[in-house]
Chains A and B, each alone.
Chain A
Amino acid sequence: MKNNVYITNSTTYRQDFAIIAGWVGFGSKVLDLGCGDGELLTYLRTSLEIKGYGVEKDDTNWLACLQNGTNVIQMDLEDGLSGFENQSFDTVVLSQTLQAMHNTEEIVKEMLRVGREVIVTFPNFGYWRNRVQIASGGHMPVSKDLPYQWYDTPNVHLCTINDFDKFCNNYKISVIERKVITDGIEVSFMPNLLGNLAMYRLKAS
């Protein structure tokens, strides 16, 4: 797996952060899974004075967190969250990492166990540009948001907004709020076609 901070290469991350900040309470306790170099937690710490912890597997990212003052636990998310107590965080975040998880159901279940609320963001595979690449060229989409070839991608579980809605429905997960953005602008019309980053605020129902 590549050691990139973000497995997609979105330029919309600030928007992404701002929306997440809107869903996180002031001074709350936040766990960021696959926290990269700790950028989101640093942002939330500065803007909302949260008590934040990150989980990161990669040595370089882990060290960057330590150096910028982010509490960081080195572990592999694929092993689950057994090191975290039930309902011990206000919010658990999985930012643009869901699509790279092998055990997708398990991690979502674990997040809902550990967090009172869960934020999941992922690149929407139903975005029209992805559809055009498949329909016109007959190739797997490669873009700035999904910069990998089919054979070297860490993104093993790409999904569309419709797919994720169905997933939440199947697993009885409540969607408190959903936002879809494209290039930093919120999309409300035909989001599964026009949105490239899906953001969900969830809780167990």
Chain B
Amino acid sequence: MSENSLNSVGIVAPQTAHFSEPLTLKNGEVLPQFDLVYETYGTLNASKSNAVLICHALSGNHHAAGKYAETDKNAGWWDNLIGPNKALDTNKFFVIGLNNLAGCHGSSGPSSINPESKKPYGASFPIVTVEDWVNSQARLLDYLGIKTLAAVIGGSLGGMQALQWTIAYPDRVKHALVIASAPNLTAQNMAFNEVARQAIITDPEFYEGDYYAHSAVPRRGLRIARMLGHITYLSDDAMGEKFGRKVKDKIKYSFDVEFEMESYLRYQGDKFAGEFDANTYLRMTRALDYYDPALEFGGDLTAALSKVKAQFLVVSFTSDWRFSPDRSREIVKALLDNELTVSYAEVTALHGHDAFLMPDAHYHTILRSYLQKIEIQ
């Protein structure tokens, strides 16, 4: 038995919170009502001061740790981090994972049923932003009776939410752990998102986003989008180490799978296309593109963070070129300019952007050490 399964949160079950108060979104639209599906691990203490919110990245969801049944092949997506005596210790913290709005795992989103029309929202589901997510997450905390988060933690797009929490709700979050993230996307980073979206939108099965009504799935587009994503999440060195130029069988001079790398990308693409919703993918990438808290401060991130009170741990990975260390340093500089409490680690790692999900010993020791020092009243 591995150490991980010994320290597992065990069998978990998702819950759904329904919100009947309308939520006004950044684009001006109003969601009259919505559902958020979430999971919790550990126990909320009497003073409700030990809550940690996990914000998921592009393709994540509420199922961050544990299994739904012993027979599940895989545990939650951040199970290597979350559990009793793990770096994010559920003996100490009450950990909340949720599926963001526009998701496809139970929270209100394009593929869920619009209670008014009794049909899937489809293309009519609004384009949501990181700011909207954080506002909806605050509603979830209200629902759970939690005033203040001991910490908010997220990697990549999740790190943007963690940062946004400290901007939008400075009095509701004590610590923010912002991992492999950025204060906005570069043109190159947005360009990858655009290619991914074009793959989906130009798929003949897309039907302008209302493919549910046509019993169609834009599988090809989603598959290509995911293949592209996977290339950018890995470093050249990591792909070199993992696949190199290894040939699958023997060279056939064809367009079938010739190299191991192709086999991996096709497998990942097919798997994803079979379980994820294309409309959700479009919206998640857009949320990434739009996030730019400095924009309304004339590009001045220091000014954007002037109301922030939280203490920060910022972590980047040396081989991450999609959310490079330089981008994390921009966040750190803005925090330093505001004389906030911050530590910054640049973890030497081979795995590119994916490193934030890997159980690297030094990386996890950093998170463990930081989380251990958080005092719970």
Which positions in A face B, CB cutoff 8 Å? 29, 51, 53, 59, 62-63, 65-67, 69, 71-75, 83-85, 88
Contact = CB atoms under 8 A, between A and B. Distances in A.
B34 to A, nearest CB: 39
Nearest to A68: B373
A75 B341 CA distance: 17
A59 B362 contact: yes
A72 B333 contact: no
A66 B366 contact: yes
Given A74-B346, A83-B329, A69 B337 contact: no
B348 interface: yes
Nearest to B348: A59
Given A59-B348, A66-B370, A69-B373, A88 B342 contact: no
B33 interface: no
B216 to A, nearest CB: 49
B345 A62 contact: yes
B365 A53 contact: no
B344 A73 contact: yes
Interface string B342-354: 1111101000000
Contact of A84 (B336, B343, B373): B336
B101 interface: no
Contact of A74 (B345, B365, B373): B345
B74 interface: no
A29 B342 contact: no
Contacts of B369: 63, 66-67
A117 B344 CA distance: 24
B136 to A, nearest CB: 32
A16 B348 CA distance: 33
A66 B343 contact: yes
Contacts of A71: 341-343
Contacts of A74: 344-346
Interface in B179-220: none
Given A62-B345, A66-B366, A69-B373, 7 more contacts: A29-B339, A51-B339, A53-B336, A72-B343, A74-B346, A75-B344, A83-B332
A85 B300 CA distance: 13
B337, B339, B344 pick with most chain A CB within 10 angstroms: B344
Contacts of A29: 339
B312 to A, nearest CB: 9
Contacts of B341: 71
Contact of B332 (A59, A69, A73, A88): A73
A81 B269 CA distance: 42
A35 to B, nearest CB: 12
Contacts of A83: 329, 332-333, 336
Interface string B361-374: 01001100110010
Of listed A62, A67, A74, residue having the most chain B CB within 10 A: A74
Nearest to B313: A66
Contacts of A59: 348, 362
11 contacts: A29-B339, A63-B362, A66-B369, A66-B373, A67-B369, A73-B342, A83-B336, A84-B333, A85-B333, A85-B336, A88-B337
